[in-house]
A and B are shown apart, each in its own frame.
Chain A
Amino acid sequence: EAGVVQSPRYKIIEKKQPVAFWCNPISGHNTLYWYLQNLGQGPELLIRYENEEAVDDSQLPKDRFSAERLKGVDSTLKIQPAELGDSAVYLCASSLTGGADTQYFGPGTRLTVL
C-alpha cells in the first residue's frame, strides 16, 4: 500500500515569492492534516480536513497561508508571499477518521526562503 505522498521534497525560493506544496493521502483516508515543523521542534498542526471540509484551521496564519482539499482527496498548501521565517519542513499526514489514533505521515517538504 502506498504511503502519504508529498511533493516537492525540497523547495528553495526568495522571500515574497509564492510557493505551493502538494499532498496525496493514503487511499480511503478521510482525514488529512498539514503540520509545520521548525528545526529542532516537534510538528505543529496548521489545518485538519475531514473530507473536503477544513474542521480545524485555528493555527493557520490566514493572512499568507491557504489550503484546499478539492474532492476530499489531494490537498494543496500555499504560502503567498513567503517570508524568511517560513523556512521549515511542511508535513502532511492522513488517518482513516479524525478520531483514529494513528496518523500516517509523509516525508515532508523542506522549504528554504532566501
Chain B
Amino acid sequence: GNSVTQMEGPVTLSEEAFLTINCTYTATGYPSLFWYVQYPGEGLQLLLKATKADDKGSNKGFEATYRKETTSFHLEKGSVQVSDSAVYFCALKARGNNRLAFGKGNQVVVIP
C-alpha cells in the first residue's frame, strides 16, 4: 500500500542552523508529495508540494525535491528561525486516490 516514512525523533537545533527532515515513500505509480506544518495550537497547513519527478516545491524558505530514483522528498531550510518551531508531516496522494497518507511527523524545536 501507499505509505510515508519520516526520520525518527524530534529535531532540536539553534537559530540560523540548516534543517533537513528526511522523508521516503512507497506508492504505486507517481504520487503527489506534500509537506504539511502544524504550529502549536493550530491546524495543519500545506507548506509545499510537488506533483511529478524532479519538481521542487518551495515556500517560506523551505524546499523539497521529488526524487523518483530514491523515492524521497526531503525537506530543507538553509537558516531556521525560532518561529519555524512546529511539527512537520510528509504526505502523499496516489494517482486516482484522493486519500492523503501521512508520515508520523517530526517535532522541530529551534533554540534562540
Contact = CB atoms under 8 A, between A and B. Distances in A.
Contacts of B77: none
Interface of B is mostly: strand
A44 B93 contact: no
B43 A107 contact: yes
Interface in A17-60: 31, 40-45, 48, 56
Contacts of B36: 105
Interface in B31-75: 32, 34, 36, 41-46, 49, 51
B108 interface: no
B99 A45 contact: yes
B49 A4 contact: no
B98 A48 contact: yes
A102 B34 CA distance: 9
B100 interface: yes
Interface string A93-104: 100001101111
A91 B102 contact: no
B43 A108 contact: yes
A4 B43 contact: yes
Contacts of B91: 42
Interface string B80-112: 000000000101010000111011110000000
Interface of A: 3-4, 31, 40-45, 48, 56, 91, 93, 98-99, 101-108
Given A91-B44, A101-B51, 18 more contacts: A4-B43, A31-B98, A41-B105, A42-B104, A43-B89, A43-B100, A45-B99, A48-B99, A91-B43, A93-B44, A99-B98, A102-B46, A102-B49, A103-B46, A103-B100, A105-B36, A105-B43, A107-B43
7 contacts: A3-B43, A40-B104, A41-B105, A56-B99, A91-B43, A91-B44, A108-B43
Interface of B: 4, 32, 34, 36, 41-46, 49, 51, 89, 91, 93, 98-100, 102-105
